[in-house]
Chain A
Amino acid sequence: MFDYETLKLIWWLLIGVLLIGFVITDGFDMGVGALLPVIGKTDQERRMMINTIAPHWEGNQVWLVLAAGAIFAAWPTVYATAFSGFYVAMMLTLFALFFRPVGFDYRSKISDPLWRSSWDWGIFTGGVVPPIIFGVAFGNLLQGVPFVFDEYLRSTYQGSFLDLLNPFALLVGVFSLTLFVLQGSTWLQMKTEGVLQQRARLVSLYCAPIAMLLFALAGVWVAYGIDGYVITSLADFSGPANPLLKSAQLQSGAWLANYDKYPLTLTAPVIGLSFPILVWVASKFNRNAFAFFFSSVTQAGVLMTFAFSMFPFIMPSSIEPNFSLTVWDAVSSEMTLNIMTLCAAIFLPIILLYTCWCYFKMFGRIGKEYMAKNKHSAY
């Protein structure tokens, strides 16, 4: 179907699409979780918040599951190296994610206040920890990760968990949490009413400028404080997927090189910087759906900025830059990529169609009336 080089690019794009799908949809689920004890003052308010995402969170979470599955299938070397290298971080993410399915489903099944508030903190953890860790992980990818390969391509991570928590990575972690909370607050603006909706608006009004500021700060830090990586020799973009066959090195300013080379890519950081303003304006004037839309575009813009800056790198090795994992050499074979491309071409549009249909069917705000009517069936 496609040649190998094109396939490698397609899967870089597709994994980007899946991650964007994740931050937009599961992003507001996590944001709602993070805001649960913050703006949900009473049990009734918390139930309303949870019920805005009740019919959707399972489907939304599949974006994450599918992104991880696609990385396994399309970038097996990345899956192996990143998941085992970031072992403790991955486990903490996993444990935080444990709280969500059971939290949502079990919380309102029993009316004991201690039972409910325990689950509320569980859902809160499931909404706060993963965004921070994802941010920290991306922050570390930008700085390079200390891993090496032996001659049989067995990877070993040589850092420790605490090394991951360096200042820049923490900044990205906080930024990521802000974005998820922004996404959650704009969703709540759109899906709730009354005081709850006003509080959600207030959160958006605070988070939008903070997100913009942190994004700008991270951008400046990347431009002046972090060295990027460049490939210095690579025989063939269509060559076999073996990360040991190229050479690469550290170079200051390398993470900005793509914007020089392909000026069109500048749209991504421009979106990331400007759309929070639109979120703020829309929230200010109570145009809730617009606020949610602009926030979603912000998420996409930020992720694309990350991807464009690093391309073609996925996971640079700070110890041995030659071993860095890139779009060209950490991928699956041509046949596997071809088959998966075909499947994605068929199923992704179908997924989008039925997902939209579900949102359309569950359209509308969740208020006291809804809760009274569905007292026994709602979460």
Chain B
Amino acid sequence: MDDIVDLSRLQFAMTAMYHFLFVPLTLGLAWLLLIMESLYVMTGKAVYKDMTKFWGKLFGINFALGVTTGLTMEFQFGTNWAYYSHYVGDVFGAPLAIEGMMAFFLESTFVGLFFFGWDRLTKLQHLGATCLVAFGSSMSALWILIANAWMQNPVGAEFNYTTMRMEMTSFADLVFNPVAQVKFVHTVASGYVTGAMFVLAISSYYLLKGRDLAFAKRSFAIAAAFGTAGILSTIVLGDESGYEVGDVQKVKLAAIESEWETHPAPASFTLFGIPNQEEQRTDYAVKIPYALGIIATRSIDEQVIGLKELMVQHEERIRNGMIAYGHLTDLRGGDKSAEKIAAFEQVKADLGYGLLLKKYAPNVVDATEEQIQLAVDYSIPGVAPMFWSFRVMVGCGVLMLFIFLFAFYQSARNRIGKNKIFHKIVLYSLPLPWIAMEAGWIVAEYGRQPWAIAEILPTHMGVSSISSEKLIFSIMSIAAFYTVLLVIEMYLMFRFARLGPSSLKTGKYHFEQLAENNQQG
């Protein structure tokens, strides 16, 4: 059973992280295309149309893989997380289906017109199509993140013992989940940063090569402004503000900080340290006073609860969960007396903690003290990966902040292209947003462990009843497909990025001019 769980987690992590290589670029580039095309419609200058078309070409190369890998995500809940799908499909499925109806349909239908409608639509109609692609992709992110936020902080739902699953009690709570709100802003804004960094870095390449300067400068300036807004939103409206609600969010916060003890408020921020899970302490910690309290709780008088204290709470809830599980077994066995139901209702909030024990004691109710202790230790994620991923994310974010601010300053002073060293730095900073975001997702999703749905369904319960052979088959095949596809995608991206706007074959740009001159000479 354990190898099925590990393999299923490996496959999910692999496919989700891969999918997110493409999603953020779509999110950001779509709005940049809209800005460029709006400028074209307003000014009538052909260079803006060329910009829309060229960056749109790269957008298309990326979009194709975003769609491809998104299919895997949709299939995968059913194929690999069947019990999860049964247990929470009533709540979790709804935002996914609504995403399809409201957002993905819109985005996908109009993306066709974006590419092929240039001659068929009026200028304004085409701008409208581009706008709907951008709007659709961000709306899509909203609904997906509502579903994701529910995994972190499952509000508006209740366990039903007759149907053996979670059922929705309030759609409004699901949609207005505070975690969903911050997650949406943080994730979408970081997507905008990715789009901006992409345009900024590739424009810098042209500037360094001294090619297509008018085209590159305009692209650079738009990306600098858009990216500055994006990175400020990402940092200021960071995800941390969503870390106050729900037990698992608190655990994540403490793990990010490797905060074992609860210290008096305001908590200090550990700039550096080596988390030591076994001894439950942080070695060689270098701390900045007050900083964490302000980052995490947006105040100086609220505490950040330490992991040890949270684990004490978990132990209590695990013991309660054992009682809940016992009652549930009786209920399923046919004892539906009013007392039984009342007794179950009283402790059912802790049923999930009881299920944590399933890993160690299949019958739950007869767990020994030792097994309970194992479950308690297991109730928090590994602290070191959390601690480091968070620092990688923040580090990349801060670097990008400086880059965008300086780029914006250069644009404002009309000095784009003058500072070669800066453009070189920008070019090689291209991977930063991807590193930051993958690290950020590790914080969010690895930090959720051992839960699939926080406090409700442990990850090890969520898997399908399938054999490990099948899993190995799917993991190997997906890995092979994805590797080949990535190589092809990168090849095309590099090829067209190097070619630049000359790939549009308008005759106006560098390589075509070069060819023309050669012919004449």
A residues with CB within 8 A of B: 54-59, 61-62, 65-66, 68-70, 72-74, 76-77, 79-84, 87-88, 90-91, 93-95, 97-98, 100-102, 104-106, 109-110, 151-157, 240-242, 332-333, 335-336, 339-340, 343-344, 347-348, 351, 354-355, 358, 361-362, 374-378
The answer to whether A361 and B86 touch across the interface, beta carbons within 8 angstroms, is no
Q: Which 4 interchain pairs have the tightest Cβ spacing?
A: A76-B89, A83-B78, A73-B93, A59-B109
Chain B residues near A100 (CB, 8 Å)? 68
Q: Does B371 contact A (CB under 8 A)?
A: no
Contact among B53, B101, B465 for A351, CB-based, below 8 A: B101
Question: Count the A-B residue pairs with Cβ separation under 8 angstroms: how many?
Answer: 243
Chain A residues near B477 (CB, 8 Å)? 91, 95
Cα of A359 to Cα of B367 in the assembled complex, Å: 63
Q: How far is the CB of A122 from chain B (nearest CB, A)?
A: 11
For window 191-227 of B, CB contacts with A under 8 Å fall at: none
Contact among B93, B109, B474 for A91, CB-based, below 8 A: B474
Q: How far is the CB of B501 from chain A (nearest CB, A)?
A: 12
Chain B residues near A354 (CB, 8 Å)? 106, 109-110
Cα of A94 to Cα of B464 in the assembled complex, Å: 18
Q: Does B45 contact A (CB under 8 A)?
A: no
Of chain A, the residue at the smallest CB distance from B70 is A65
Given contacts A62-B108, A66-B104, 7 further A-B contacts (CB under 8 A): A65-B104, A84-B80, A87-B464, A100-B68, A106-B64, A240-B162, A343-B97
The answer to whether B465 and A155 touch across the interface, beta carbons within 8 angstroms, is yes
20 pairs, CB–CB < 8 Å, chain A vs chain B: A55-B113, A59-B109, A62-B108, A66-B105, A68-B78, A72-B74, A72-B85, A73-B89, A74-B93, A79-B89, A81-B86, A90-B78, A154-B465, A242-B164, A335-B169, A336-B90, A340-B94, A358-B110, A361-B120, A362-B112
Q: Does B115 contact A (CB under 8 A)?
A: yes
Cα of A82 to Cα of B464 in the assembled complex, Å: 11
Q: How far is the CB of B313 from chain A (nearest CB, A)?
A: 26
Cα of A106 to Cα of B57 in the assembled complex, Å: 11
Provided the pairs A66-B97, A95-B477 are in contact, do residues A101 and B164 lie with their beta carbons within 8 angstroms? no
For window 144-199 of B, CB contacts with A under 8 Å fall at: 160, 162-165, 167-169, 171
The answer to whether B109 and A58 touch across the interface, beta carbons within 8 angstroms, is yes
Cα of A47 to Cα of B63 in the assembled complex, Å: 20
The answer to whether B64 and A94 touch across the interface, beta carbons within 8 angstroms, is no
Chain A residues near B110 (CB, 8 Å)? 354, 358
Q: Does B254 contact A (CB under 8 A)?
A: no
Q: Does B99 contact A (CB under 8 A)?
A: yes
Provided the pairs A73-B97, A358-B109, A361-B113 are in contact, do residues A80 and B74 lie with their beta carbons within 8 angstroms? no
Of chain B, the residue at the smallest CB distance from A102 is B64
Chain A residues near B104 (CB, 8 Å)? 62, 65-66
The answer to whether B93 and A72 touch across the interface, beta carbons within 8 angstroms, is yes
Q: Does B411 contact A (CB under 8 A)?
A: no
Cα of A65 to Cα of B108 in the assembled complex, Å: 11
Q: How large is the interface on B (under 10, 10 to 19, 20 to 34, 35 or more residues)?
A: 35 or more
B residues with CB within 8 A of A: 53, 60-61, 63-65, 67-68, 70-72, 74-75, 77-80, 82-86, 89-94, 96-102, 104-106, 108-113, 115-121, 125, 160, 162-165, 167-169, 171, 332, 464-466, 470, 473-474, 477, 481, 485, 488-489, 492, 495-496, 503-505
Q: How far is the CB of A155 from chain B (nearest CB, A)?
A: 6
Contact among A61, A68, A104 for B75, CB-based, below 8 A: A68
Chain A residues near B167 (CB, 8 Å)? 332-333, 335-336
Chain B residues near A104 (CB, 8 Å)? 64
Q: How far is the CB of A131 from chain B (nearest CB, A)?
A: 16
Q: How far is the CB of A236 from chain B (nearest CB, A)?
A: 12
The answer to whether B93 and A76 touch across the interface, beta carbons within 8 angstroms, is yes
Cα of A59 to Cα of B96 in the assembled complex, Å: 17
Chain B residues near A73 (CB, 8 Å)? 89-90, 93-94, 96-97
Q: How far is the CB of A83 from chain B (nearest CB, A)?
A: 3
Chain B residues near A347 (CB, 8 Å)? 101-102, 105
Of chain B, the residue at the smallest CB distance from A86 is B79
Contact among B89, B100, B108, B332 for A80, CB-based, below 8 A: B89
Cα of A89 to Cα of B63 in the assembled complex, Å: 26
Chain B residues near A376 (CB, 8 Å)? 503-505
Cα of A95 to Cα of B465 in the assembled complex, Å: 22
Cα of A361 to Cα of B100 in the assembled complex, Å: 23
The answer to whether A90 and B79 touch across the interface, beta carbons within 8 angstroms, is yes
Of chain A, the residue at the smallest CB distance from B174 is A339
Cα of A90 to Cα of B89 in the assembled complex, Å: 19
Of chain A, the residue at the smallest CB distance from B71 is A97
Chain A residues near B93 (CB, 8 Å)? 69, 72-74, 76, 79, 332, 336
Provided the pairs A72-B77, A76-B93 are in contact, do residues A154 and B118 lie with their beta carbons within 8 angstroms? no
The answer to whether A61 and B118 touch across the interface, beta carbons within 8 angstroms, is no
Cα of A14 to Cα of B504 in the assembled complex, Å: 43
Provided the pairs A335-B168, A343-B101 are in contact, do residues A362 and B117 lie with their beta carbons within 8 angstroms? yes
Most buried by A among B109, B115, B470, B504: B109
Provided the pairs A73-B93, A79-B93, A80-B85 are in contact, do residues A242 and B72 lie with their beta carbons within 8 angstroms? no
